[in-house]
Structure 1
């Protein structure tokens, strides 16, 4: 009785050691078992044969496509033990099955695949019980199926695998092996956890985690490889999903990360929305993803015991391929960050390289997936998490910089680009990207100058990018000239800009941008004939460049060839019908050439274009996956800090595309006007930029019946319907999307208001202004327009208050300064009017209106000499004054 209990204890210990892979303890346990029980020689032979084989594989792990092992002493001893067991046949059926399975595994290791299949067929693996099998037996069965599949692959190379029945048998073997391997790993981890809970809390050796090994890993990974090799993408994706739905174990974490990454790559590169099916749906019988010649039959099999899968209520299930790919990649990214090797000691260098490579692949795929959705904010956050193991890794730093640029985080992007420059000091594209940001909305001109000089000083290392370096340097100097308040400083920067642009043109004579910016700088310097020559040269290089065509029209208007300029604008609009900058210029030119009624029709046309381009009342209309609709909706409280961009602001215009820079210039109807005039008629001069806080929605009110537009002319009555339709788009419901579409709509309202002011219709002008104010209530442009309407009505105090409020929001708004000076003059406050107008002239010395108004104030004060100089300056400037400021054209790389 005592011997039986002792034998039972030893058998339990043997089973535990077999499950945990502690093969070094087996010989001693076999010796104890033989001493306690009789008739255990065959069991001992089996255990010793298994021990020899497993110990050999542990010390000499197999690899995929490796050559067979030659006969070695451990393998010879293992074969001797197993042969003795099989020849005697004294063991019970379960143990004989194990002996055959081990012999088949040994034959595979030695390269005798046919003999291995003989042993597996003798056992019939499907007859091996799973229901009450111990843990070690689950691993043995899983390895047996994998080994059988490997042997079938080795022996069936003579026939095409994609069309043979043997191929289906191979896939079934691998899939059964993978399913049983998942079950084994779950049961092993559960047993390990239970054992640790039952142990004494005293410190002791920690049990090692289970290892997959060659055969189990093959069973988990080989089936989908064959599916994809045969062109059966549907079944391959299905197999991926089955493995990922199984409850995770610590042993399968790295495998799950690999499979999740591979599946995400397939979803992103090989599957479209039309061919996608949900993980909870049955795969389609026929799919365009699969090769036409591949067999779609997939034999079903049942196992009496399967691995546990994730189940429960309210589980998230993706509904499209990008959604599932993002889910998989975010899971992979979390695992890569968790398991990152951060140690810099030499012993861990190989592991650190592998960890970095794995993470880099995940982040590259995240860049593709999130870039498709326009989720650059989320992408930058993901890449920031990767910085903990991105030391001296240029690729991750560069990816972070690009994602920050796309997310609009320009200041942080410049700092990251500086680190990229340190890592790759000879790459000219990096400082060029930094210049692009600095001369954009950041307006860091000194930093931009430094980056541009870095490219120029690279000499031959910069190659073709050296011309871009001079181009960037010229843009920096041009913007500095615009910002300069002293005439001498302004002229110095203009000379530097012209010199840089000329150098860029000499290095890249076929680059139309170099010629265009040279023409633009000459135009800003009021060298109109020279600018015309270069802009025509730019059009010869790039005949459909919208900015070159726009500059040509402005130059023609500066020479007072308004009809020719209008023809150029209409020709450009035939190529770019949705370009609002061209349309705003057309409104000004039509007011002069064809009358305000035609300008109102153009405003109506702009409203129709806006409705078709930015119909944001139904977000789904903009297309699935559109970056326009994937932006988060900002808080409504941000609206109070939002203001419209000033159309005449050179810095704002230079940092944006044509659809963003739309503000309110006036249309000149005469050369000069007396100070008693209520409406200024000239292009809007320069004003300095105002910081914008961007949000994604804001309230809009319907136009009340009391403020609706009523115009006696036919054109005005036709445009009233368009204004009413556009007003009906506005509601109290917050709109999705970025801010610039609503900026565009507000500018359309303000242009319509200005046309009505030119027609002396204050009620209609105020109605349009109120619509713009409902979008941007604190915009200095809106307040300026309200001041214009008040002037038209003769309310000088109201107009003065509006201009002062506009200057409180934007202290450098030139037009508000000029009109405030005029109002102060009309109120007989000459000294204050002179001070305000002198400041306006100092901020924008190229505006003839400021000089003319200052001349009249000086004349009223009896300072005739100074007034004469101001009048002459105004005449000289007006002779070359375009219909719209040249600085509305973008100055950016």
Structure 2
């Protein structure tokens, strides 16, 4: 009978023989001799590997048979030694090095199918990680061959997992993920948590092994846009990643991709503490604050932290861009005109500084142009926008901004030509299509804009089908499988839908106020509860986003039909959007517009008041409520509403004009004249939609 000790000796003998043959240079250059030599080397390594695994299994068996009262087993942590461990890994690697990828993968699978023992876990971790890396880097969907459960039994051979219920992956990603999840379990279990000096070396080794697994896991899961699972994996790694920047930063990135922005910001805060001189981290945190969390003060603080690296840093220009974005967004929040002007000036100076540090950066030029446009310095804004497009001709927001600037100059024909060219490059961009529809109302007629709306509804249907595909029956039947529908292209389309939603929200005023955003979130939650009975709004965030996109299209269609004096169609659009989001302030507003068009002023007044009660900063509701009150001969209250609207949106020429009408009705001729003069001045530089519908993004 072969004892475990003899198995160990035989295994080492074969391993040493393989190393020796490999080291000895061939005596001749015969191709036949060379092939025979390679076969001999691989045979030695394979036999060494099989015997080593069998040795570990027999050792496990003998230790398990010992009595419990025999005392602690000191050799429990003994491994097979570096000679055999390297030999086991050499056989598949040798195949791959000599161009036989299929046999190399097959050998990896054979080794991993061996029944696990407590002594082989570290080896299994290494083999699983290596095979996953080979699958991710060297195998594509067409060349992939699933593992075969059946195999030739070579004696002596380690015992292998067999049976009818074994899981067999369908593609290279599934197999790589399975391997990496197994490796993750082993790596986290073997991680040394004791951070004392005597355990430092062991702690470093186990951490490096775990890091390698998590890096590969990130590659595999990102390919399938499985960011929730990735963030869960990195969360499990936190217990042994104290002050380890790489894992913390990867955790933050996975949370951002999973749209868990508040938590990601907390993780980035810790990353800033770990690497105080790293500029990318505070810039990423500032991006979250500005684009997702509306924490403008915190975003400005992170931008200033990034600027501590000095103006000589390569990212100094982008840090000033972030600072300017923060000031510009914060300016919208200000109630006092002086505070607003101060922040706008600070934003402009920050963008000018960013441009001075990097004159060829399209992003600083774009934001400089957008800030000038908001301040109604249209000529300068056009100059910088054209310069931004010179350095990045396909930047969609620069193209959109130039369209609005041309419309502000009343150069509608050129604006129409440009937006058609932009839509050839970005045919599915709903924000551009809505602007195009507005231009068509002016250049052609409202009927022409209806065709653009039909196109928008077709695009929305495509977005909605993406969500429907993800809820297919296959996911219910195979919950453990990686969804074929969930890949990077699908995720990118969802991200586009999410970005479009931010651009389409409240296009009449372009409001980015915190209270507007808070109101939108509140009414979204309330509307979900109110509409849950009809089953239209699914609970998934992606489904909610697509339905909210449809809501914005219906709102615009209702407004368009009102301009055509088609009351029946407008009311049908209002009914559609009320079904989707019954407690939306925009639904209340557009319903008020319908009543106002019918000259039912009391009903319109109630609708506008409902809209303002949900969102007190909705300028359009304040403006129309003021005019309805004027029609109801309540000019004092109308003046109050219109002054509030002017204070919130000082560049709206309609608000100034209506305020002038009310003041004139009250007998304040001088004030009315000033308001009309201001309205006329603002109207000369007013675009078809507010400049603020263009998002202030750090990319």
TM class, shorter-chain normalised?
A: 0.7 to 0.9
Partner of 1:46: none
1:176 aligns with 2:37: no
Question: Equivalents in 2 of 1:734, 1:491: separation in Å?
Answer: 42
Q: 1:194: which partner in 2?
A: 65
Q: How far, CA to CA, are the matches of 1:335 and 1:534 in structure 2?
A: 56
* TM-score, scaled relative to structure 2: 0.88
Deviation at 1:171, TM superposition (A): 2.2
Q: Does 1:504 align with 2:354?
A: yes
Q: State the 1:595 CA deviation.
A: 0.5
Give the counterpart of 2:161 among 305, 310, 322: 310
CA deviations 1:582-610 (Å, max 9, x no partner) are 11111011111110111011111222334
Deviations 1:312-371 (A, max 9, x none): 564433211111111211221121111111222221111111111111111111111111
Equivalent position of 2:554 in the other structure: 749
Among 258, 262, 277, which residue is 2:145 paired with?
A: 277
CA contact (8 A) 2:283 2:303 kept: yes
Q: Does 1:444 align with 2:310?
A: no
Point out the structure with the larger helix share. 2
Alignment of 1:345-384 (within 5 A): 345-384=196-235
**Within 1, Cα distance between the matches of 2:673 and 2:316?**
48
Question: What's the secondary structure of 1:440's corresponding residue?
Answer: helix
- Report SS of the residue matched to 1:302: coil
The whole-number CA distance in structure 2 between the counterparts of 1:205 and 1:581 is 70
Residue 608 in structure 1 maps to residue 476 in structure 2: no
> Using the alignment, how far apart are the partners of 2:282 and 2:441 within structure 1?
45
Q: Is the 8 A contact 1:404 1:410 kept in 2?
A: yes
Aligned residue pairs, count = 676
Partner of 2:94: 226
**Which residue of the partner structure matches residue 483 of structure 1?**
333
Question: Measured at CA, do residues 661 and 685 of structure 1 come closer, stay the same or move farther in structure 2, by a change above 3 Å?
Answer: closer
Identify the residue that residue 661 of structure 1 maps to in structure 2.
503
Give matches, 1:769-780, under 5 Å: 769-780=574-585
Question: 1:626 maps to which residue?
Answer: 487
Following TM superposition, by how much is the alpha carbon of 1:459 offset from its aligned partner in structure 2, in angstroms? 2.0
- Which of residues 364, 367, 376 in structure 2 aligns to 1:517? 367
2:185 alignment partner in structure 1:
334
CA distance in 1, matches of 2:387, 2:10: 78
Residue of structure 2 in register with 1:690 after alignment: 517
Equivalence for 1:471: 321
Q: Tell me the equivalent position of 2:242.
A: 391
2:679 to 850, 853, 874: 874
- CA 1:503 to 1:552, structure 2 compared with 1: closer, same or farther past 3 Å? same
Q: Which has the larger radius of gyration?
A: 1
TM-superposed deviation, 1:619: 4.4
In structure 2, distance between residues paired with 1:624 and 1:136: 52
CA offsets per residue over residues 657-678 of structure 1, 9 Å max, x none?
Answer: 4565124646xxxxxxxxxxxx
> Which residue of 7, 11, 33 maps to 1:142?
11
Mapped to 2, the partners of 1:454 and 1:430 lie a distance apart of: 10
Question: Which residue number corresponds to residue 23 of structure 1?
Answer: none
Who is 1:533 aligned against?
A: 383
**Residue ranges of structure 2 left out of the alignment (5+ in a row):** 473-482
Match of 1:242 in 2: 110
2 CA distance for matches of 1:578 and 1:449?
A: 33
User: Partner of 1:796 in structure 2?
Assistant: 601
Report what 1:670 is aligned to.
none
Seen in structure 2, the aligned counterparts of structure 1 residues 812 and 235 have a Cα distance that, compared at 3 Å, is same
Rate the CA distance shift 1:527–1:629 in 2: closer, same or farther, 3 A: closer
Partner of residue 589, structure 2 = 784
Deviates more, 1:414-423 or 1:596-605: 414-423
2:569 paired residue among 753, 764, 767: 764
SS at match of 1:806: helix
Contact 2:76 2:119 in 1 (8 A): no
Q: Secondary structure at the match of 2:292?
A: coil
Q: How much does 1:686 deviate?
A: 6.8
Residues 750 and 628 of structure 1: CA distance in aligned 2, closer, same or farther (over 3 Å): farther
* Structure 1 residues 776 and 136, CA gap change in structure 2 (3 angstroms): same
Cα distance change on mapping 1:438 and 1:145 into 2, 3 Å: same
> Does residue 1:887 correspond to 2:692, yes or no?
yes
Q: Distance between the aligned counterparts of 1:699 and 1:771, measured in 2?
A: 17
* Cα gap change, 1:381 to 1:561, in 2 (>3 Å): same
Residue matched to 2:475: none
Separation in 2, partners of 1:248, 1:214: 19
Map 1:148-167; keep pairs closer than 5 Å.
148-155=17-24, 157-158=26-27, 164-167=35-38
Aligned partners of 1:590 and 1:264: how far apart in 2? 55
CA separation of 1:397 and 1:492: change in aligned 2, threshold 3 A: same
The answer to whether the 8 A contact 1:511-1:541 is kept is: yes
CA distance in 1, matches of 2:572, 2:85: 73
| Alpha-carbon distance in 2 for matches of 1:408, 1:794 | 45
Check 1:376–1:161 CA distance in 2 against 1; reply closer, same or farther (3 A cut).
Answer: farther
Report the Cα distance in structure 2 between the residues aligned to 1:781 and 1:143, rounded to whole angstroms. 77
Pair 270,819 (structure 1): closer, same or farther in 2 beyond 3 Å: same
Q: Whole-Å Cα distance in 2 between the matches of residues 221 and 500 of structure 1?
A: 57
Structure 1: gaps spanning 5 or more residues: 1-131, 284-299, 634-652, 667-682, 702-729
Q: Distance in 1 between matches of 2:213 and 2:106?
A: 21
* Residue equivalent to 2:477: none
Offset, 1:504:
1.4
Q: Choose from 620, 631, 639 the match for 1:826.
A: 631
CA distance in 1, matches of 2:490, 2:582: 25
Q: CA deviation at 1:461?
A: 4.9
